[in-house]
Amino acid sequence: MIAEFGHFSLILALVVSALQGVVPLIGTARRDAAAIDFARHAALVQFAALAAAFGSFMYLHVTSDFSVLNVVQNSHTAKPMLYKISGVWGSHEGSMLLWVFMLGLYGALVAALGRELPASLRARVLAVQGLLGFGLLLFVVLTSNPFLRIFPPPADGNDLNPLLQDPGLAFHPPFLYFGYVGFSITYSFAIAVLLEGRIDAAWARWVRRWALLAWCGLTIGIAMGSWWAYYVLGWGGWWVWDPVENASFMPWLLGTALLHSVAVLEKREGMTRWTILLAILTFGMSLVGTFLVRSGVLTSVHAFALDPARGEFVLLLLVLIIGAALALYAWRVPRLLPGTGFDPVSREGALVVNNLLFSIGMATVFLGTFYPLFAEIATGARLSVGPQFFNATFLPIMAPAVAMMVLAPMMSWRRGDLGATLRRLIPAAVAAVIVPLAALAVAPLAPIFAYGGLALAAWAVVGVLTDVAWRCRFRDGGMIAGLRRLRQLPRRLIGGSLAHFGVGILVAGIAVSTAWREESLEVMVPGQSLAFAGRTVTLMEVTEGQTDNFQWQRARLQLTGPDGTIRSMAPERRFYPVAGSQTTNTAISTNGFADFYAALGDPDTKGGWVVRLYFNPLVPWIWFGAILAALGGMIALVERRVARRTVPATDPATVKP
């Protein structure tokens, strides 16, 4: 009965989304107040129906209802409760249900919190959200119904993919989808403003909030996915340019560009047309990611290899949603003035450069991801584009973007003084020289990019601190007065500085962990010791056991540091008998500046065990930097001063006659 209720709720949401997409558009055209207000009520009803469907599906998984096919395929009675819950989005059907649930959530948030919006604009935004919901819900109902029954029901399920039975994967998809789907709101605002024929600073403020909320969720989701790959897969790395990794990274790149371009629109009413285009393309990249994961064209650790019909449906949705938006953009955008002008040497000019670099970077990732697919379609040849391509093309594009990240906030709007800005950044320039020279003196055999990365990280970190110190006038009024001024700075500025500081920390982690990483693959017998990365590693013993869910083999390693301190590590191999597969559970000893990483491999015939060891200096800074960036975004999101001014649709400053 619960399954049927959930299925009915999905169909109800489908019907309501269709009405939500049509009635408000007719109402705004006819200036019918009741039809305009209908959008808000429909969005709330649609979300309630989706919440009922999602809650029903979760209940079926938690109670192990094996009369439902999806529960049979992705659950088991011996599975811990956390993984019964995460099994809800561990399959194609469940993850698509999470997708449309997030879409409905954002629509409901706009309906509930968007009372500041002009009624017609809010109605159009919610109407576009309704049309998006209708397309995705139609896909779920027709091709991916999560509530299908199976008869007779089996006694137990097939278990969830063991790689997904990890706390990181329990939380990674919801955050990722919160970001992915969140950019649907900026897309809806872009379509609504094209229909309205006006754009202003107030519109930019609303878009910035939603874009920032989605960006924070996507940042956390990507960071959690990278952390999961690092400690679960047992390979010692954190990013491999997997196509599905790229699928989440591409909208993040465009979303970052969108945040910076909408700042220009909000402050100076510039870059109007470009901001609208970015809002459309950012959500377009989210849909491209959905297509990659669900089309069956990829084989990945976290892709869903499905029948081609589902991929064709998603591809059709992608073409319709993005194609229609670009057609509307081409038709309506000439009616919008391009915005105010500015000098190339200004904050606007620096942000334009930033936007171009992020967009070119996204295009590079897109090319490297899709070129093998295009080549196979055109020639039948199977090609692969590896990390070497991305490292050689993407990183040189992003390096000046990071440098500009420090320069732009210190420049004035409309017309800046480059010389004065560079003089204020002398401490950052000095740090960018000293830090790589110090690294060269200590470790002279690293690749040149490592020293360049350290210079860039020092420039970013010290540059951000210099900017904050200059704004607080620490040199003029002393420490106490400076701290008082720091508390008075706008949260948006504090959040942006913290996010940029986090990027500098992340760059340092990438440069050092990539260049000075050490690894060793050894066959060890209990009692054997070896020297590695300035430490002594001893395999004390290997024990075996089992839980209700899996069987395990656990090594006990003793790690003796240069100062004589002793730490214990316990890497495992796990075998899941229901799924018939094996996973690695690594052991990581960290002090915040470096990770000592161990993974247990296969046994040999002589009582030995394969042990993989990695020493990764500064690798924790990668995730620490990402957390700081997301935290900065959250701080900027809760800005104290919220303007409520709007510009009439006939304002000659924003609309051509």
Alpha-helical regions (H) of 296-425: 308-332, 347-379, 387-407, 418-424
**Whole-number Å distance between alpha carbons of 129 and 82:** 32
Q: pTM of the predicted model, to two decimals?
A: 0.92
| Residue 432 tokens, joined | 């960018």
Q: Looking at residue 614, what is its pLDDT? A: 95
CA distance 212 to 253: 13
Burial letters 19-49, b for 16+ CB under 10 A, else e: bbbbbbbebbeeeeeebbebbbebbbbbbbb
Residue 449 to residue 468: CA distance in whole angstroms: 29
Tokens of 265: 């629109």
Residue 233: helix, strand or coil by DSSP?
A: coil
Kindly list the distances between the CA atom of residue 515 and the CA atoms of 44, 204, 242, in Å, as whole numbers in the listed order.
52, 41, 21
Three-class SS string for 203-215? Answer: HHHHHHHHHHHHH
Closest by CA to 587, choosing from 608, 558, 624, is: 558
Q: Rounded distance, CA 276 to CA 215, Å?
A: 17
- Helix, strand, coil shares of the chain, percent, nearest 5, are 65, 10, 25
pLDDT in tens, 536-578: 999 999 999 998 888 999 999 999 988 888 999 999 999 998 8
Token pair, residue 477, equals 């009024």
Please say whether the beta carbons of 334 and 168 come within 8 A.
no
Q: Residue 630 in contact with residue 223, Cβ under 8 Å?
A: yes
Predicted confidence at residue 293, as pLDDT, reads 77
Q: Output the six-digit token pair for 413.
A: 């709007």
CA distances to 144, 153, 165, 578 from 157, in Å = 19, 9, 15, 8
Chain centroid offset of residue 526 CA: 43
Residue 193 DSSP label: H
Query: Which residues are within 8 A (CB) of 419 and not within 5 positions of it... i.e. 6 or more apart?
Result: none
Q: Rounded distance, CA 3 to CA 267, Å?
A: 50
What one-character DSSP code corresponds to residue 28?
Answer: H
- Specify which residues 596 forms β-bridges with: 589, 615
Backbone φ and ψ for 473, nearest 5 degrees, come out as 55, 50
Other Cβ atoms less than 10 A from the Cβ of 442: the count is 9
| pLDDT less than 50: residues of the chain | 300-305, 641-657
pLDDT given at position 306: 52
Give the model's pLDDT for residue 652.
32
Q: Which residue has the tokens 């003089």?
A: 423
Query: Is there a contact between 99 and 136 (Cβ–Cβ < 8 Å)?
Result: yes
Do 53 and 13 meet the contact criterion of CB atoms below 8 Å apart?
yes
Which residue in 301, 180, 351 sits closest to 252, CA to CA?
Answer: 180
User: In the chain, count of helices (H) and strands (E)?
Assistant: 19, 10
Q: Which amino acid, one-letter code, is at 467?
A: D
What's the Cα-to-Cα distance from 616 to each of 55, 175, 555, rounded to whole Å? 42, 27, 21
Q: Phi and psi for 64 in degrees, rounded to 5?
A: 55, 55
| Distance of alpha carbon 591 from alpha carbon 614, whole angstroms | 15
| Structure tokens, 239 | 């990013």
Residues 6+ apart with CB under 8 A from 265: 199, 201, 203, 204, 271, 272, 275, 339
Dihedral (CA of 413, 415, 420, 426) sign: positive
Residue spans per domain, the chain: 1-155, 425-516+620-630, 518-617
Q: What sign for the dihedral angle of Cα 442, 447, 451, 456?
A: negative
* CA–CA–CA angle 379, 382, 386 (5° rounding): 130
CA 489 to chain centre: 28
The closest alpha carbon to 213, from 259, 249, 248, 169, belongs to 259
How far is residue 153's CA from residue 466's CA, in Å, rounded to a whole number?
65
CB atoms within 10 A of CB 379: 9
Half-sphere exposure of 438 (CA within 13 A, CB side): 9
